[in-house]
Structure 1
Amino acid sequence: MTAHVRFVTGTDTEVGKTVTTAALAAALVADGRSVAVYKPVQSGLEDGAGDMDTITRLTGVTSVHEGIRLPDPMAPRASAARAGVPLPPVTTHLATIAALAERHDHVLVEGAGGLLVELTDDGATLADLAAAVEGSATVVVCRSGLGTLNHTALTVEALQRRGVAVAGVVIGSWPERPSEIESDNRRCLGAIGPGLLGAVPAGAGRSAPAVFRERAPTWVARSPVTAA
């Protein structure tokens, strides 16, 4: 692969993975880089739109791809079972990532739910995909509130135990008026793994696209996506 590949996972579902992925993509585009975004499994649609549609709307990136799109907002294996369809195997995902890497400077791969959610019929996870892509690194998106330190440390440890490089941590939704607990958490997150890469403001996904693209580079460090 010639491109930098970065996986984006979360400590749980609904922590801000998609908007964080969009912010990383927008920062790269602002830096003049070509970007592709891939989601191995899209489970659940909102008004017929998935996470890749959100990323295109916010960033203008058109090279967005899904391994499979499933209607029910459930864990991928359960959603696929309800739909009566098989999930793509790891080899299909790796082939797609490799093909995108040949045509772009950077490939961002957004997971579904948390790190160890099963994405294939034989139980492979985003951690397995990341471990199979040489030279890749993973960004961990977390919450700001109570419990985030434990969940983030567990996710980082799970990646490290599998030999997966961790690029760092991003708070997926940072409130305009953080509590004392949230402010303390933000300081402590800097000591987990490679540390805190940034924080995406709460509600950023509702921003006008032009505003989102202008501000995204100030929310996330460039290092997780531009480092070799």
Structure 2
Amino acid sequence: MPVLVITGTGTEVGKTVATAAVAAAAVAAGRSVAVLKPAQTGVGPDERGDADEVARLAGAVTARELARYPEPLAPATAALRSGRAPVSPPEVAEAAAKLATEHDLVLVEGAGGLLVRFDADGGTLADAAKLLGAPVLVVATAGLGTLNTTELTARELRARDLDLLGVVIGSWPAEPDLACRCNVTDLPEAAGAPLLGALPETAGALPPGTFRSMAPEWLAPCLRGRWNAEEFTTREAPAPFARGA
């Protein structure tokens, strides 16, 4: 798996912190890692972007951006409004492929959800994943509404013949409500793919050293972690509803 594409079911789902955890676990396993952010929006020229945040949390990773736009909008809209050139899926694929010749693992972190547009031609992260032939990891929320957005994302991936590696919960609350607890068992069914991790809601605020040491505890073995989905589900999911009650 030299390239892994990481998308979210929407914005603010914990995608960057999840990307950092995947990177940190890989580094801890002795892999060289690069993170590629095709289009960074909503930050100024001297501000830290998502790739920089991954590097801050994960440690010794190569961070790359292809384009940066100041307004917090979809990349295609942000590029148009800024008068700057947009990023296209072939450019993303070419950059990721080049990084893959120099690193054991390249993580391509999208902006928002899977079908957020990069350019006026409608190019998306899904198109870049298709060009790369890379599997896709979906970062989802824990609470109410996540089943719908996760299943829609999974259906679109399959419609494009893309490999859905699995789902990671980007922010698991310290005190999960009933919806969160039920979703632990319902998310794999909605996605048609395994649950591969759950990050605590405070993960991104941890000191980098603590984050790096803890990251493998939040991710399944296929992501070079030690997290066990069965144990997590047994602990967090509520008892089944009584039939006929």
Structure 1: runs of 5+ lacking an equivalent? none
**Compared CA separation, residues 225 and 72, structure 1 to 2 (3 A):** farther
Determine if the alignment matches structure 1 residue 68 to structure 2 residue 67: yes
Aligned partner (choices 140, 143, 167) of residue 141 of structure 2: 143
**Deviation by residue 1:40-62 (Cα, 9 ceiling, x = unmatched):** 10011288111011111101134
Aligned-partner residue type, residue 19 of structure 2: T
Residue type at the aligned position of 2:109: E
| Identity across matched positions, percent | 48
TM-score of the pair, normalised by structure 1: 0.94
Instruction: Return the alpha-carbon distance in structure 2 between the equivalents of residues 56 and 188 of structure 1.
Output: 33
Aligned residues of 1:9 and 1:141 also touching (Cα < 8 A): yes
Structure 1 match to 2:200: 201
Gaps of 5+ in 2: 226-245
Counterpart Cα distance in 1 of 2:34 and 2:119: 22
Tell me, yes or no, if the aligned pair for 1:6 and 1:138 is still in contact at 8 Å. yes
The structural deviation recorded for 1:119 is 1.2
Q: How does 1:138-177 map to 2 (within 5 A)?
A: 138-177=136-175
Name the CA distance, whole Å, in 1 between partners of 2:158 and 2:3: 17
Instruction: Specify the alignment match of 1:119 in structure 2.
Output: 118
CA contact (8 A) 2:25 2:224 kept: no
Structure 1 residue 121, shift from structure 2 partner: 3.1
- Normalised to the residue count of structure 2, the TM-score between the two structures is 0.87
Letter in 1 for 2:116: V
SS in 1 for 2:110: strand
The answer to whether the Cα contact below 8 Å between 1:10 and 1:141 also exists between their aligned partners in 2 is yes
Larger gyration radius, structure 1 or structure 2: 2
Contact 2:157 / 2:164 at 8 angstroms: preserved in 1? yes
Which amino acid is the alignment partner of residue 9 of structure 1?
A: T
Task: Please identify runs of 4+ aligned residues in structure 1 that moved more than 4 A.
Answer: none
